[in-house]
Amino acid sequence: MKIRIKFAKEGDMKFIGHLDVMRYFQKVMRKADVDIRYSEGFSPHQIMSFAAPLGVGITSSGEYVDIEVISTDSSEEMLRRMNGVAVEGITFLSYRRLPDTAASAMSIVAAADYTVTFREGKEPADWEAFAAGLGEFGKREQILVMKQTKKGEKETDIRPMIYSLTVEGRAVHMKLATGSVANLKPDVVIRAYMDSVGLPLEEFALLVHRDEVYGSLGEGEQQRLVPLDQLGGDIE
């Protein structure tokens, strides 16, 4: 039975790297008595797959992990048990059964929503001008940046990877390409804009929060982005 779990990663947990998060989740499965399936062979391990590993220093209210279980109680009961053993900063939000034919979250991840704010004292001096200019920046046909690749730096057009870019109050909201095919980080977008208008971006000036992760369904004009937890259903 395939299960997709949605969780939030906040507070000091944002400083914990992905490998340590994986080890932590393995402990949660055992402590919460989740009847998780193990691989076969000489070194069995829990069958567990994360959708899109979160970078260190980023908080999120829309993270996903897929597991396989042999049996399960209701979604409500499983959430109660997992949250009962979770540390501060990790909150389990949904526990949903997937169709047997469902693809793994990792394989269909295509986009993510982010909210970006500036740390206190590090905002642009003229916020109104910054916000207006960012809106126009997002409408450009081409946005070239230097991106690091395995073969060195390469000039890349990131505009096709920006699906939306808006400002509300003192927060920047963006939907960006995420996954193995195309992946764009929100700080790259902000830096590209500030470089284009000659504004400095101080180190550690940004606070980044990932709001949601989407899977891509369909092809061509029928292709659509769907929050990963909408592909499953609650267990009664």
pTM above 0.85, yes or no: yes
Q: How far apart are CA 218 and CA 43, in angstroms?
A: 37
The one-digit pLDDT tens for each residue of the chain (236 residues) are: 999 999 999 999 999 999 999 999 999 999 999 999 999 888 899 999 999 989 999 999 999 999 999 999 999 999 999 999 999 999 999 999 999 888 888 989 999 999 999 999 999 989 999 999 998 998 999 999 987 777 778 889 999 999 999 999 999 999 999 988 889 999 999 999 999 998 888 889 999 999 999 998 877 666 789 999 999 999 99
Q: Which of 198, 235, 183 is nearest to 74 (CA)?
A: 235
- Residues 65, 48 contacting (CB under 8 angstroms): yes
| Residue 68 in tokens | 């396989």
Strands 224-227 and 206-217: antiparallel
